[in-house]
Amino acid sequence: MKALAAALLILVAACGKGNAIFNVDVLSFLSASDSLKRFSVPVGIGQADSSVARRFFLPPGFGKTAADSVSASATASIIDTAGSGSVQFDVFFARTQAALFTGTPYLSANSGAMVAGDSVRLLPPTTVSLADTVFQKDTVWVGIRGRINKNLTTTMAGRFRLNSLNVRIVVRGNIL
């Protein structure tokens, strides 16, 4: 992946003052166990996280300049099989693993109050981040988190499925 990304980046040089646009289907690089998470939060715990963190290689030239813009979009679905509560869906990008899940997520959506049997489709609004420096490195970490909030006295179980996660990175020419 890293090798090919570097090779493709060389082609960017052909675009002169144009832009290099990378449309990355992040979901396709995640395993099935990463995109489908089952959760069960017992009595006595009010909040629990189910998260995935994966590292992606970027073309080396990204280390020299900030991306002109980064837009991200995702869809996910929550199925509540037992109990009640809500699920907060967040997507983070960070330069290091330690920095994941801190700060403001790039994508965020909340299921609202759910009860057993509910199925909610999450459609967080597409976000656009200008002059993003997170991608100013050879690697980027992607973090996906489902935060379950519920009453301490009840249990909540269900499934969380990531249906799509796409990132569009626009880089000005001459990034080699």
CB of 53 to another protein, least distance (A): 18
- Residue 65 beta carbon to another protein: minimum distance, rounded to whole angstroms: 4
Residue 22 or 101 with smaller CB distance to another protein: 22
Listing DSSP states for 76-101 in one string gives EEEEEEEE-BEEEEEEEEESSSTTTT
> Least distance in Å: CB of 27 to another protein?
8
Per CB under 8 A, residues contacting another protein are 1-8, 10-25, 28-29, 60, 64-65, 174-176
Tokens in use for 154?
Answer: 């009840």
Cβ count within 10 A of residue 71 = 17
Indicate the residue among 10 and 130 with the shorter CB distance to another protein: 10
Residue 149 · residue 88 · CB < 8 Å:
yes
The least distance separating another protein from the CB of residue 51, rounded to whole angstroms, comes to: 21
For another protein, the closer CB: 21 or 113: 21
Residue 111 and residue 150 in contact, taking contact as beta carbons nearer than 8 Å? no
Q: Which helix (H) or strand (E) holds 109?
A: strand 107-110
